[in-house]
A and B are shown apart, each in its own frame.
Chain A
């Protein structure tokens, strides 16, 4: 029904000149027959050229802790097409709470994947936003025509699409992840030949703060320490990144535990 409606509008707009020229030379009956045949032809072409389409779009994010001295927040976008589809372009943008941003793009047949990353910044904690545009690139319009409807200022316009590879409306996937750090305080408990052992202070409720920690130390152990551990939360699941832990002496006593996120 939609196709029929659209075809009617197509004939009313850019093909109008052709139809009106025919009016001068042929009878009304012949013109009606031609119109029906023309409709039939277009429908046939539309059916033949319309791909059976299936597309899977995906965005994800995680913390790359493979180098503890150089953590990265990673954003990824993937599209997996079935073989009836044509090429696909994927563009992923990762934006930090303070507005740092990075964008990457990839395109190919079958599937496309793009990954972008921002270096971990202790002063840029909070919501990281991954946004991916999945843009199918095709050899023709879905209904076989080359005519597009454009919405502008509350009106609809028909025109010949100059960039006909964008034949299907793009889709988007997005994801909000959270980067933070748990700042937990510990009191000294014991010392052996290599290490100082500490116990977490009472009422310290942080995401990442084990009850006991050991810290390698050759000199005297500090009475109190602060342990800062980065974490990354995706879809409600927090991953504590123990490889990125920092220890600091707390000479003025154990401060209250805090969660760093903004």
Chain B
């Protein structure tokens, strides 16, 4: 009986650790606070792939996803002209610049609802991931990956042959080499 009672107290105590804090309060402090390291975190670091040394281990999907995030959703004229300069420096013609921006914006339009749904699931449950929630998040993740795959496959239909080659070279030679990718 006593053990059950202690069990319950401990369970309630641990559950309380996961709730009751405000995310916004922590965000402002997060980048300036001193670094803390747990043994578990050290273990996690071992699974990071540094594209500078192993670009061949970075999946295309991962690299294109980051590139689309970089290019998409430019709201101000300044932001839009700035990313056009970036894409022009890949070697793109103006037509291909427009096409790649359209592709990235399509990624954003299709992935944003998934982002929002995931955010709602996570924030609504204050980080407590039940198996059901995990399944939901995994399904969203799969949908996102399918969108990226579809867009990458559609590149030859959206860009000129030269544009496709230049983009592939850019992704392989530049994007992947600057990525750090942490596996599950």
Q: Does A117 contact B82, Cβ atoms closer than 8 Å?
A: yes
Which residue on chain B has the smallest CB distance to residue A109?
Answer: B119
Q: Are B23 and A234 in contact (CB under 8 A)?
A: no
Structural contact, A83 and B114, CB atoms closer than 8 A: yes
Within B115-163, the residues touching A (CB, 8 Å) are 115, 118-119, 121-123, 126-131, 134, 137-138, 140-141, 144
A91 contacts B31, C-beta separation under 8 Å: yes
Distance (whole angstroms) from the CB of A59 to the closest CB of chain B:
6
Q: B138 contacts A84, CB within 8 Å?
A: yes
Could you say which of B2, B129, B174, B178 has the most chain A C-beta atoms within 10 Å of its C-beta?
B178
Interface size class of A (residues with CB under 8 A): 35 or more
Q: Report whether A173 and B178 are in contact in the complex, using a CB–CB cutoff of 8 Å.
A: yes
Please state if A140 and B180 are interface contacts (CB–CB under 8 Å).
no
Tell me if B23 and A56 are in contact (CB < 8 A).
Answer: no
Least CB distance from B160 to A in Å reads 20
User: Is A252 on the interface with B (CB-CB < 8 A)?
Assistant: no
Contact A166 B36 (CB under 8 A): yes
Which of B65, B66, B175 has its CB near the most chain A CB atoms (within 10 A)?
B66
Contact status A84-B137, CB under 8 Å: yes
Say yes or no: is A124 at the interface (Cβ < 8 Å to chain B): no
Contact across chains for A239 and B89 when beta carbons are under 8 A apart: yes
The count of residues in chain B whose C-beta lies closer than 8 Å to any C-beta of chain A is 72
Is B3 touching A33 in the complex (CB atoms < 8 A)? yes
B70/A83 in contact, CB under 8 A? no
Q: Given A2-B40, A56-B65, A135-B30: A42 and B82 within 8 A (CB)?
A: no
Q: Which of A3, A57, A105 contacts B180 (CB 8 A)?
A: A57
7 smallest A-B Cβ distances: which pairs? Answer: A139-B127, A110-B115, A165-B26, A66-B81, A109-B119, A83-B118, A83-B137
A-B contact pairs, 26 of them (CB 8 A): A30-B3, A34-B3, A48-B130, A52-B134, A56-B66, A57-B179, A60-B175, A64-B86, A66-B81, A78-B70, A84-B134, A86-B127, A89-B27, A89-B30, A108-B115, A109-B122, A139-B126, A148-B37, A151-B37, A161-B36, A163-B26, A166-B26, A169-B41, A170-B31, A237-B174, A239-B89
List residues of chain A with CB under 8 Å of any chain B CB: 2-3, 5-6, 22, 25-26, 30, 33-34, 37-38, 41-42, 45, 48-49, 51-60, 62-67, 72, 74, 76, 78, 80, 82-84, 86-87, 89, 91, 105, 107-111, 113, 115, 117, 133, 135, 137-146, 148-151, 161, 163-166, 168-171, 173, 175, 232, 234-235, 237, 239
